[in-house]
Amino acid sequence: MPETAKGYGAAKRMGTAILTIACSALPCLAQSHAASPTAKVAANSLPVYAQMDTSSSVVETLKKGQALALNFQIAGADGSWCNVRLPKQSATLGFVSCAGLKITWPRPIAESRAAYPAEDSTETNGNSRRKIRVKLPAPVARFLSSYQRITAQVVSQGELNGLALEKLDAAARGGSPAALDRAALGHLAAGHFQLAHSDTSDAIDQFRSAVALARDNPEIRLISLIDLAYVHLLRSEYSAALGPLDRASALAPNSAGVARLTGWAYYGLDQTGKAISEWKRAQRLQPDAQIAALLAKAERDQQAERNFHEDANGHFILRYEGGEAPELASRILNTLDADFATLQQDFQYTPTAPIGVVLYTQKTFRNVTRAPSWADGLYDGRIRVPVQGLTSVSNELAQVLMHELTHSFVRQMTDGRCPTWLNEGIAQYMEGWRSAGSAKMLVALYDEKKFIPLNRLEGPWTGFPAPIADYAYAWSLATVESIIANSGMWGIRSLFTEFRQGVSARTALGVALQLNYSDLELQTVQFLRRTYLQ
């Protein structure tokens, strides 16, 4: 699914239409038009809660096999909630755990989130452009027992044993092939430990040491090169990944894993043709369902862009359809350059590779991206924007560009681990939106305990109906405004740092801001009252 999409027309309605109808009860905003059942109760009995909280009142208990109509789903770190009603009835019953349902349509948001493990971790935002499921290779059989024994020395009681590594390095300085192999395996084990704990910087250092020490052992060297490239790819350092992958390919020209990762690197660098070539080679060597899906997506891109023109500068690679004026493309690049400088200063970060930007007609945008109807722009590793009929950079287009470029920065700063509420909130903030028009509605829903808790907005939103998406955008923007009002951009950057370390949103809030979710929600409402409602 696309990582991020923004519906600007919907956002502009936030201060009027939503305020008019939402304050009575949020669930009424999201009723599906489907009259037929879209889910059945799978559990023996399923309580229906008044709110998305098991401590709220139980309004009804459903029996196994009972048919329901699904209004909407909210995914969170601790599971998903489904708002349901009886078929052919308009009144909502309340909220149930989605785990207790067998859902036939639409596909549950939680199930649509693809897992791309970095040592079995899960990508928060479901960005299939970035994360490729690759099982990191273990040492070959003849080194496996040595690797396991050395791992037990290097990692003890859940911590990295630096002294054990130093002893292995000291022995390797004598030049003995066996000692060099043991030291390389030690750094390999240390790198896997650091990667499992989301310390990608130290993992890179460990894998580099393993590569150097395994200079005379092609088998251990190959594993170390693949692991090194993988971590660079996790960090969106696509160019840096190609060097180790080229050396790995020389050692193992028929490795499907190397071909998959090389395709990932080229796709990240916006070199779609080379990515397709590598993924086709990987599929010939060892078919894989995820690579097949990515290959189909890349081929759709290539087909749609076969007659596109290209322009570029130091930060961006821009492609656009021949019918769009080159002058517009040039103005868009200039706008993006100015936005890049703003984000670079505010976030104190510079992306390592050029960012792909594609301009479409409206029809091509929908066909290629499969974006929801409320989306006016999308970022899935490239910034994708429909510009049909435009001859200059309108205010709305400028906002779309800043919004999607912010997503690019955030993804790279957090290794793709930023929860959606913060990702979308900061993107709106950077494009200039503020909460004056939605403050009354948000405060009223909070006071009536009909708001959606932020922990339910951590996952993807692309399955939301437009009214729920509108609310989620408004609530997220207000939350980011309150964070910046209390902690400045330092608070946002601190959260990004924690996310890059792989911690949960709940933990990140505690470390970076000394807040829990309930504190943050209350802080946001207090900010809205103080800033917009007095």
Q: Is residue 302 situated within a structural domain?
A: no
pLDDT in tens, 149-208: 888 888 887 889 889 999 999 999 999 999 999 999 999 989 988 888 778 889 999 999
Q: List the CATH number of the domain containing 205.
A: 1.25.40.10
328 and 235 together in one domain: no
Residue 134's pLDDT is: 58
Both tokens assigned to 232: 């660079």
Q: Is residue 523 situated within a structural domain?
A: yes
269 and 339 together in one domain: no
Residue 288 near residue 263 (C-beta atoms within 8 A): no
Q: Is residue 291 situated within a structural domain?
A: no
User: What is the number of structural domains in the chain?
Assistant: 3
Residue 248's pLDDT is: 94
384 and 516 together in one domain: yes
166 and 278 together in one domain: yes
263 and 396 together in one domain: no
49 and 87 together in one domain: yes
Q: List the CATH number of the domain containing 44.
A: 2.30.30.40
Task: Note the maximum CA span of the chain.
Answer: 79
454 and 330 together in one domain: yes
- pTM: predicted TM-score of the whole model, two decimal places: 0.68
342 and 428 together in one domain: yes
Phi, psi of 114 (to 5 degrees): -80, 140
338 and 282 together in one domain: no
168 and 250 together in one domain: yes
345 and 479 together in one domain: yes
Q: Which residue do the tokens 């939301």 mark? A: 464
Sheet with 45-49, side-by-side order of all strands:
58-63, 45-49, 92-97, 79-85, 67-76, 39-41, 101-103
97 and 160 together in one domain: no
Q: Is residue 295 situated within a structural domain?
A: no
Domain closes at, from 52, 75, 104: 104
Domain closes at, from 286, 303, 321: 286
Q: List the CATH number of the domain containing 317.
A: 1.10.390.10
Residue 440's pLDDT is: 95
Q: What angle do CA 514, 520, 522 make, to 5 degrees?
A: 130
Q: Is residue 136 situated within a structural domain?
A: no
Q: Which domain holds residue 331?
A: 312-532
Q: Omega into 106 within 30° of 0, i.e. cis?
A: yes
Domain closes at, from 252, 286, 320: 286
Q: Is residue 304 situated within a structural domain?
A: no
Residue 81 near residue 456 (C-beta atoms within 8 A): yes
Ranges of the chain whose pLDDT falls below 70? 1-37, 72, 75-79, 90, 104-142, 322-325, 362-375, 389
Q: Is residue 237 situated within a structural domain?
A: yes
Q: Is residue 458 situated within a structural domain?
A: yes
Residue 224 near residue 147 (C-beta atoms within 8 A): no
